[in-house]
Amino acid sequence: MTTEIKEQTGPSIESQIDSEETVSIRVEDLIVGRRINHPIYDAHGVLLLAADSVVNSRFKQLLRDRKMPQVEIHNEDAASVSLGSDTMLDASSQGIFSTELTAKLDRLIESGSMFVANTGPAVRDSMVMHGCKAYDPAQREKLFEQQKQFGESLDGMMRGALTGKPPSGADITGMAASYLTQLTSDADSVISAAVEAGKDESLSQHCLQMSLLGMAIGTELNLDENNVRNIGLCGLVHDWGMVRVQEKIGRGRRQLSPLERMEMQKHPIFSLEMLENVAGIPSVVPVVCYQVHEQPNGLGYPRQRSHKMIHLFARILNVAHSYVSLTSSREDRPALMPYAAMEYLLRLTNDKTIDQGPMRALLNLLSLFPIGSIVILTDGSAARVIRRNKDFYTGPIVQLIQTADGKNVDPLDPDSIIDLNVSDLEIDQALPTPGKDEIDLSSDLFDGQI
Ligand SMILES: [Fe+2]
């Protein structure tokens, strides 16, 4: 049997390519020489490989030429044509995509009723901008304390939702509302505190970071208070399903086998199931949690939706997730430097892996040298980026930490704050965060995976 890519479609292609019986497998994971019993189609219903064909290297190369990083494979073929069949996981959850719950959401998404409109003034209009000013130390201490408390509360809520004692929607909304108030008073300080507090990389801290960054992107996109708070709420709960996944495959902070990846990709649906029992959350929340890992190019999960079929809040949180994930370390690679993460994400907007609008908002928000970055200036001194500078991505506001001859700078000295927009100094290079083993894009350890 020869392997051919045929430009032909069958009568029930739509149902086959959107089938509940297929899973996404990375092209690189396909094993040459294995036979498939079911046909493989692309996202447009074009037959890629007929039933009863053998996967060969020419077929894999043709998929690469078509810039297809993954293909939909029938469940019955998945374990035999991809690596990792020895790690077969609990088969009882394989049919999860056919649940009534996801079918209901799919119908809602397909009805196109996901339009986002403001009913009040944009939050951005009421945000306090601080210009060339250091963070308020007292407020900062309060922020770190609150971040810790919120993390503990969120851990408790996740455990409760898992064991049949779910929190109330009001508790979670209260948390998002509190974040929104702080964000309005000093967004730069809150974002930098969130980035620093997130260093412990627990699931709850990841959710808190996503919530804050997502809300900040929402404000940049001129959304009103209700919408921004809902984004924050979605960020807080979107990954609860990971608790169930982690019971099976651990924290997943490493390269996963194809079957482990399939299991991990169910977490948005597990989150939905846990949220079903939380009373009083807005109806938009389950839709967004279900879609956070979809990509505008149709290569995300769990349903491979493309741009117009993905809720704006999910596209916003996907950008936040990508940034947080790249700047976090995994077991098999250190974190990317914030500057490198930003550069990489800008590249990913070209092939629509991430959405351009929210990405531009993130750039506005953090600048090209993101808040918290350590940089060397053209006079040789070292500084930390503390605030963005509107529309001046390469020249944020920085605080000197060390002079060119190695002397530490007093953080209370008002002259230590420099607005690079009106200074002769420029950023010469970005450095890894002290104490963190960060890498840049040229490192062999960086595999491009978000
Ligand atoms: Fe997630």
At residue 198 the predicted structure's pLDDT band, cuts being 50, 70 and 90, is low
Share of the chain above pLDDT 70, in %: 87
| Amino acid in position 273 | E
Query: Where is average pLDDT lowest: 213-217, 223-227, 392-396?
Result: 392-396
pLDDT digits (tens, 9 = 90+) for 361-392: 998 888 888 888 888 999 999 999 999 887 77
The mean-pLDDT minimum among 39-48, 336-345, 351-360, 378-387 falls in 39-48
All structural domains of the chain, each given as residue ranges with its CATH number in brackets, are: 13-83 (no CATH), 123-365 (1.10.3210.10), 374-431 (no CATH)
CA of 407 to the centre of ligand 1 (A): 43
Q: Ligand 1 center to residue 273 CA distance, Å?
A: 14
State whether the Cα torsion 204-209-210-212 is positive or negative.
positive
Residue 237 Cα to ligand 1 middle (Å): 10
CA of 154 to the centre of ligand 1 (A): 15
CA of 328 to the centre of ligand 1 (A): 14
Q: How big is the CA angle at 329 (ends 326 and 333), to the nearest 5 degrees?
A: 95
**Cis bond before residue 302 (omega within 30° of 0):** yes
Q: How far is the CA of 232 from the centre of ligand 1 (A)?
A: 14
444 CB neighbour count, 10 Å cutoff: 7
CA pair distance 207, 320, nearest whole angstrom: 10
CA–CA gap between residue 272 and residue 281 (Å, rounded): 12
If you measure from the C-alpha of residue 71 to the centroid of ligand 1, how many angstroms do you get, rounded to a whole number?
Answer: 21
What mean pLDDT comes out for the span 74-81? 79
Confidence of residue 254 (pLDDT cuts 50, 70, 90): low
For residue 266, the CA-to-ligand 1 centroid distance in Å is 9
The pLDDT value recorded for residue 448 is 82
User: What CA–CA distance (Å, rounded) separates 158 from 211?
Assistant: 15
Residue 238 C-alpha to ligand 1 middle, in angstroms? 6
Selected residue with higher pLDDT from 237 and 1: 237
Cα 284 to middle of ligand 1, angstroms:
17
Question: How confident is the model over 26-39, as pLDDT tens digits?
Answer: 776 677 777 889 99
Q: Would the pLDDT of 95 be above 60?
A: no
Half-sphere exposure of 51 (CA within 13 A, CB side): 6
pLDDT confidence of residue 19: 46
Lowest mean pLDDT among 305-309, 329-333, 401-405: 329-333
Distance CA 299, CA 335 (A): 24
Residue 137: pLDDT band by 50, 70, 90 thresholds? confident
Give the global pTM: 0.75
Between 242 and 95, the more confident residue is 242
The pLDDT of residue 389 is 83
φ and ψ at 428, to 5 degrees? Answer: -95, -45
Long-range contacts of 303-309 (CB under 8 A, 24+ apart): 303/18, 303/97, 303/106, 304/24, 304/43, 304/72, 305/109, 307/352, 307/355, 309/109, 309/110
3-state secondary structure 35-72: EECCCEECCCCCEEECCCEECCHHHHHHHHHCCCCEEE
Q: pLDDT confidence of 250, banded at 50, 70, 90? A: low
pLDDT at site 99:
62
Interval 168-195 mean pLDDT? 88
In this prediction, residues 397-420 reach a mean pLDDT of: 90
Q: How confident is the model at residue 302 (pLDDT cuts 50, 70, 90)?
A: confident
